[in-house]
Amino acid sequence: VTTDRILEGLARREPAALARAISLVENQSDGFEQVLSHAHGLLGRGGTRRVGITGPPGAGKSTLTEALIQRFRAQRLSVGVVAVDPTSPFTGGALLGDRIRMESVSLDPGVFIRSMATRGAQGGLATTTEEIADLLEAFGFERVLVETVGVGQTELDIARTAETTVLVLVPESGDGIQTLKAGIMEIADLYVVNKSDRPGADKFRQEVEVMLGIRRGNAFRHMAPHNPSDGRTGGRADSASRLSDGPPVQPSGRWQPPVLGTVATTGVGVDELTAALDRHYAYLQASGMMAEGRRRRLAARTRAVLERKLRRWLLEGTRVEELLASRLDELADGRRSPYDIAAEILDQVKAGGSATR
C-alpha cells in the first residue's frame, strides 16, 4: 500500500514521494525493490548524465558540486545530488554544514539534494547509492551528481557507479602524492586540482600529470607510471611528453584523463570542468564505452541484488542462526572452527534446512 502511494507520487513528480522512495531504498524497507524495479523501467530515456565526485575531506567537493549545479542550472538542466557522508559522532556536523552551504541552490525546484548516511549500509553502500541515483534519474533529473568523501576502495566504488568519475585533489594535502603512489589515481576520468589559488598549485598539478604519465618530469623519474587496471580510464599516454592541454583522446583512441585546476569558491576553472565532462561524455558515446560500461554496470548490479537477496534469505529464511546457536559451545571451547561449522551449516541449508515455519 505504501509502495503504491510512493509510485503514484513519483508518477506525479512529487518531491515528497521522491524523498520517501529514497528513504525506502536507503533502509531497504518492504517494497523497496518494487519501487526500484519500477524506476528501472524509466531509465535511459532522458539522456541523464551521472558524475561521481570523490576526494579527501575538505578538498572542496561540496563547493565544486554547488558550482557545477549553478552551471547546469544556467543551462536549464535539472540536477539531482546524492552526497554520501561518513557517519561518525565526530563528523556528524558535516551534514548540516553542507546543507547550509548548498543554500544558494536548495530552494530551486530544479535541484534536489540528498545526504545519505553511511551507517548501516553494510558493504552494499555502492549499490544503495547507485539505486538512489537511479531514483533521481527516473524522476527526471538531467544531471545526477554523486559526492563521496574519501579515497578508499568503497568511495571509489561509489564514484565509479557514475559514467564519469572526478577525483578532486588539493595542493596542500601532503598525502596527495601518497594517494598517487597508492595507485588509486587510475580510477578517475578527470582529475581536478582544486584550491588552485593556494601556493604550489601549479607544481602539484604538474606532479599529478607526471604520475599519470601525461607529462615528463624529474620528480618521479624513478617510478613507472601506473598501468590501467581495468581499461576504463585508458591509462597513461604513449608519449610521456604530452601536456594536459593536448587532445583528450590519445592516438590509440583511448581517453587521456585531463588534470584541471579549479578554484571552487570563485568558480575559476568550472567552465573548463563542464567542458571536460562534455568531452568525456562524447568520448564514451563515440567509443562504445558507454554501452560497454552500461552492460558491465547492469551485470554488477544484478550480482549485487542477488547477493543481497541471498544474504537476507540465509539469515531470515533458513535455520542458519538456530544451527549456529546450537554449535556455539563447541565453537567457544575450541573443539571446532568457524570454517568447520560454516561448512556444516551450509550443507544442512542446502539439504533443505529452509524456514521451520
Ligand X SMILES: Nc1nc2c(ncn2[C@@H]2O[C@H](COP(=O)(O)OP(=O)(O)O)[C@@H](O)[C@H]2O)c(=O)[nH]1
Positions in the binding site for ligand X (CB under 6 A): 55, 57-63, 194-195, 197-198, 263-265
Supply the minimum distance, in Å, between the C-beta of residue 96 and ligand X: 12
Single out the segment in contact with Mg ion by CB under 5 A; choices: 9-17, 25-33, 60-68, 99-107. Answer: 60-68
- Selection from Mg ion, ligand X, none that 14 binds (CB < 5 to 8 A by kind) is none
Nearer to ligand X, 56 or 258 (CB): 56
Nearer to ligand X, 58 or 353 (CB): 58
- Interaction of residue 128 with Mg ion, rule CB under 5 A: no
Q: Which parts of the chain fold into alpha helices (H)?
A: 2-11, 15-27, 32-40, 61-74, 93-101, 103-106, 125-139, 153-159, 176-181, 201-211, 270-287, 289-312, 320-326, 328-332, 338-350
- Interaction of residue 62 with Mg ion, rule CB under 5 A: yes
CA distances from 188 to 66, 192, 223, 330, 337 (A): 20, 10, 20, 49, 42
Q: Which three cell numbers stand for residue 34?
A: 518494487
Residue nearest to ligand X (CB): 60
Q: What is residue 315's DSSP assignment?
A: I
Supply the minimum distance, in Å, between the C-beta of residue 58 and ligand X: 5
Radius of gyration of the chain (CA): 23
Nearer to Mg ion, 62 or 161 (CB): 62
Could you tell me which of 81, 119, 87, 86 has the C-alpha nearest to residue 101? 81
CA pair distance 57, 37, nearest whole angstrom: 34
Question: What region does 145 belong to: left with phi over 0, alpha with psi -120 to 50, or beta?
Answer: beta
Nearer to ligand X, 62 or 78 (CB): 62
Supply the minimum distance, in Å, between the C-beta of residue 196 and ligand X: 7
CA pair distance 109, 25, nearest whole angstrom: 22
Residue nearest to Mg ion (CB): 62
Question: Which uninterrupted H or E stretch holds 255?
Answer: none
Nearer to ligand X, 195 or 232 (CB): 195
Nearer to Mg ion, 128 or 194 (CB): 194
Supply the minimum distance, in Å, between the C-beta of residue 280 and ligand X: 21
Supply the minimum distance, in Å, between the C-beta of residue 208 and ligand X: 16
Which residues form the interface with Mg ion (CB under 5 A)? 61-62
